[in-house]
């Protein structure tokens, strides 16, 4: 699937926001477990311990495998993914980072719409790719304290593919552990998204309405 930089032609190719790597990000890390139980460990602390973060990721992987390998329609798996992403990923923080300087340019309505549409578009790609990720498994390898939280290394395994290293950044946001970034194939999810968003806006007269319109059409195409 083409990168957004190769797909800024709104009228001819408006549905190319999500790259193959983004699908991988979501299927490996977006469809994660509810934070119930882990929040209890964190309490009112402003930081999460290494053991808490590793447990959070272990629970996340267990739930991911249950969703991907379980019975049920793809639409239901997408619905579960949407709920779980909202609970466990710092969507607001990721969106603000992705928009970068354009966050201050956008008005409140545009910000709310971008926050609403962004995960919908990402989740929509799962419906076209769930079958390819049957048999997924993973191991939690280690964790380390960093300036903005805990970095947890995992190894993701899928039949027929070489092992993949996926790194998770976990921080406490409003009293709960949240995924704030994912590093896969050597690339940060947040930075990849920010670069593509900036490229799109630069090639479309810095038009936030054009960006939102593209996201809206992508979201509608997956419904």
The answer to whether the pTM exceeds 0.85 is no
**Quick check: is 11 in a domain?**
no
pLDDT at 169: 93
pLDDT at 61: 72
pLDDT at 135: 75
**Quick check: is 177 in a domain?**
yes
Q: Report the DSSP pairing between strands 149-157 and 164-173.
A: antiparallel
**Quick check: is 198 in a domain?**
yes
**Quick check: is 12 in a domain?**
no
pLDDT beneath 70, residues of the chain: 1-46, 64, 122-134, 222-223
Domains of the chain: total? 1
Residue 157 sits in a domain whose CATH number is: 3.10.450.710
pLDDT at 222: 63
**Quick check: is 105 in a domain?**
yes
**Quick check: is 1 in a domain?**
no
- What CA–CA distance (Å, rounded) separates 146 from 76? 36
CA distances from 141 to 53, 54, 163, 166, 180 (A): 12, 9, 13, 10, 19
pLDDT at 88: 78
pLDDT at 157: 83
Range(s) of the domain holding residue 56: 17-221
**Quick check: is 6 in a domain?**
no
pLDDT at 193: 85
**Quick check: is 5 in a domain?**
no
pLDDT at 13: 40
DSSP code of residue 148: T
For 159-176, write each residue's pLDDT tens digit: 888 898 889 999 998 888
pLDDT at 125: 55
């Amino acid at each position: 699937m083409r990168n957004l930089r190769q797909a800024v032609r709104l009228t001819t190719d408006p549905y190319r926001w999500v790259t193959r790597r983004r699908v991988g990000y979501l299927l490996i890390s977006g469809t994660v477990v509810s934070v119930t139980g882990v929040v209890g460990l964190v309490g009112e602390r402003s930081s999460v311990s290494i053991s808490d973060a590793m447990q959070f990721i272990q629970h996340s992987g267990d739930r991911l495998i249950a969703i991907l390998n379980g019975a049920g329609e793809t639409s239901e798996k997408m619905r579960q993914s949407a709920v779980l992403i909202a609970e466990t990923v710092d969507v607001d923080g990721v969106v603000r980072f992705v928009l970068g300087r354009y966050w201050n340019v956008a008005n409140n309505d545009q910000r709310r719409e971008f926050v609403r549409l962004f995960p919908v578009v990402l989740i929509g790609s799962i419906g076209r790719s769930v079958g390819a990720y049957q048999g997924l498994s993973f191991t939690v390898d280690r964790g380390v304290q960093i300036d903005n939280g805990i970095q947890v290394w995992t190894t993701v395994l899928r039949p027929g593919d070489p092992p993949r290293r996926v790194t998770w950044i976990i921080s406490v946001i409003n009293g709960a552990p949240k995924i704030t970034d994912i590093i896969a194939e050597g690339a940060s999810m947040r930075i990849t998204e920010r670069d593509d968003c900036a490229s799109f806006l630069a090639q479309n007269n810095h038009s936030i309405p054009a960006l939102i319109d593209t996201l809206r059409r992508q979201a509608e195409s997956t419904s």
